[in-house]
Amino acid sequence: MKHYADDNKKAFTAKKEAKHGGKRFAKESGAAAPKHGRHAAEEPASEAKKARRRSKAEEPVQAAEAVKPAAPVAAASAEAPAPKQKKRGFFSKNKKDAPSKEPEAVAAAAPEEPAAAEPEAHAAPQKPVLPKLRLNRKGIVRKTSFDEPEEKKPAEEPEEAEDEEVVIEPDMMEEDPGSQPAEAPEGAEMVDIVSSSAMLNADGTPAADKVKKNTVIHVERPKRARTDCPATPTAPEPAMKVGYAPAFIFSGFLAAMALLFIVMPKLGYSASEKRVLASFPKTDAETVFSGQFGKDFETYFADHFPFRNTWVGVNAYTTLAEGNNGASGVYNGSDGYLINKPIKDYGRIPDNMGLLTEFKRSIDTPMTLVMVPSTGYICTDKLPLVHDIYRDDEYLDYIRDYSDAVGIRFLDMRDTFKRAYRSGSQLYYRTDHHWTSEAAYLTYREYCKIFGLVTKPQEGFEVEKLGNFYGTTYSKSGFWLTPPDTLEIWKNPNNKEGDIHIQISDGGEVVKEQDSLFFYEHATEDDKYPVFIDGNHAKTIIHNQNANKGTVIVIKDSFSHCFAPFLAESFSKVILLDMRYSNEDITQLVKTEKPDQILVLYGIDNFAEDTDLGHLWG
């Protein structure tokens, strides 16, 4: 029993020695270690040992077959003295692959059963052990040896090119997914191993004797799909560099505008905006150092900027495109109506009513007050969907109550206008803030009813139409694409030449006289409204020999211009006073002329903003 246990122990010892080369186990058990270095060359090298270097998976099987006679081997090894082991150096060749002699020695000492040699069929035929090539990331071939570790050289020392034959094994040609082809270093030979038949053997494998170490080899191999990482994002293409082009364009535009501002003629009056343009400011030390010259020059530059009307129109339609319902205080309504926005509050209505009250108390002549409602208040269906509220009812009610309290007759035209507008009458111009001749006639008829005067029926007038009328709201808004309006002139055919005479004065001097109520020289202008009594003047006197009523003094704004011809049908003398231009003492004029009536006629918007009624006393 004891002998059986000893045999198993010795068999296990021999198996360990065969597996680990006998080095570690011999040290622990005191058994003789196998020889190494040059002594190992004396032992016959078997094909099985060489195969064991190629495949570690076969080592346990080969070791087990080598130590099959376990008991005899163990006994022999126990009797034989352990040979002296020679000390090995660190760089000794075949350090790992030195074969162990102990299994063969033990087998030879056993008399019962000779050691069986390993069969020849057990080892697979192998290719000659030759240096290998390693492709780095730049595509450069580097030599690798199984026998010696590659000597590491400093990075700054380039590897010397050797005329040494190398072999490229197929398994070394596997593509590195992260590698990128690089250009060959200077002096290296570029070879396409796939397309060059001179670099291949008969079976298609690379020829070892045709490839040099210093050769850069390009091998075409199929690309392997990468499924283990996401696709590399493609860098966006850089945006086109604009550079300084916008700056040059803008600078050129400013330079061109400045040049045109200098060379273009300067106008004194803007027909489209219906106003006098600013003149060049006064230049002296006082205006320059006080800053007044700079302010005046800005106004002058804005009024005479090249192509001013074009820029005004561009601004208006840009504002409309941004979602606004108008521009410059004017609504862009339907059917071509350009309507002024409503006034925000009472403004100067209470103050002006107080001035009229004082004036009324200073004279003994009856006074009548007529306020023309705003366009937006009457033409509500022409307004844009979103608009401010027109508070004409509130203002007119206030004026009516105030007038009744101080003894001034108030002529309210709201209901009359609403009925006429619902019946289809055009009471206001589409491109102007004034009322039409038809609205003026309706007011004239209601005014004459107060005094019991008989008026000529509407059918008794001849209506003359003047097309291409662009009024004040057109000029103010800048909506240049709005279609023109038509201005109407109502004439009494019974008035003959010499029956009517008009005298116009400014600054106390007579500037114009003629025998007609209408000034046709303005019929060719865009704004044809000055056809009536030649527009705005300080004082205008109309004489009509066919009228049977006395004198009437009218304190007015521009709404009275188309109303005056109708009033001249009933009154032999009509005196029109515009307080914006007149400095005459009206109380003294009333005492001199002894009029039958005094009429104050304003549009509600103008009355709320007027600051000139204080000139009633000169």
pLDDT by residue (tens digit) across 66-80?
Answer: 444 444 433 434 444
Distance CA 554, CA 181 (A): 101
Lowest mean pLDDT among 278-292, 340-354, 420-434, 589-603: 278-292
CA distances (Å), origin 153, targets 90, 186, 216, 309:
20, 20, 20, 83
pLDDT by residue (tens digit) across 484-542?
Answer: 999 999 999 988 878 999 999 998 899 999 999 999 999 999 889 999 999 999 999 99
Distance CA 27, CA 89 (A): 18
Q: What is the pLDDT of residue 94?
A: 45
Q: What is the pLDDT of residue 247?
A: 87
**pLDDT bracket for residue 235 (50, 70, 90):** low
Among 50-59, 236-245, 466-475, the range of highest mean pLDDT: 466-475
**pLDDT bracket for residue 429 (50, 70, 90):** very high
- The H or E element containing residue 6 is helix 2-20
Q: What is the pLDDT of residue 9?
A: 60
The vertex-298 CA angle with 293 and 303, nearest 5°, equals 125
Q: What is the pLDDT of residue 147?
A: 46
**pLDDT bracket for residue 308 (50, 70, 90):** confident
194 vs 13, residue with greater confidence: 13
pLDDT by residue (tens digit) across 92-106?
Answer: 444 444 444 444 443
Distance CA 610, CA 350 (A): 11
Q: Which tokens go with 239?
A: 């945006």
Mean pLDDT for all residues in the chain: 75
End-to-end alpha-carbon separation of the chain, Å? 155
Lowest mean pLDDT among 13-17, 192-196, 226-230, 295-299: 192-196
Q: What is the pLDDT of residue 455?
A: 92
Residue 414 has pLDDT above 50, yes or no: yes
Cβ of 485: how many Cβ atoms within 10 Å? 24
Cα radius of gyration (the chain): 59
pLDDT by residue (tens digit) across 243-271?
Answer: 788 888 888 888 888 888 888 888 777 76
Mean pLDDT of 293-318: 84
Distance CA 430, CA 333 (A): 9
DSSP state of 571: E
**pLDDT bracket for residue 306 (50, 70, 90):** confident
DSSP state of 508: T
Q: What is the pLDDT of residue 577?
A: 96
Q: What is the pLDDT of residue 182?
A: 47
Quick one: angle between helices 392-406 and 414-422, nearest 10?
A: 140
Backbone angles phi, psi at 16, to 5 degrees: -65, -45
Distance CA 191, CA 184 (A): 10
Q: What is the pLDDT of residue 102?
A: 44
21 vs 553, residue with greater confidence: 553
For residue 33, give the nearest of 92, 97, 99, 96 by alpha carbon.
Answer: 99
Contacts of 581 (CB under 8 A, 6+ apart): 506, 536, 537, 538
Contacts of 533 (CB under 8 A, 6+ apart): 502, 504, 517, 519, 540, 542, 561, 564, 565, 576
Distance CA 172, CA 176 (A): 10
Q: Which tokens go with 121?
A: 């069929």
237 vs 472, residue with greater confidence: 472
**pLDDT bracket for residue 302 (50, 70, 90):** confident
Lowest mean pLDDT among 47-51, 432-436, 446-450, 560-564: 47-51
Q: What is the pLDDT of residue 358?
A: 94
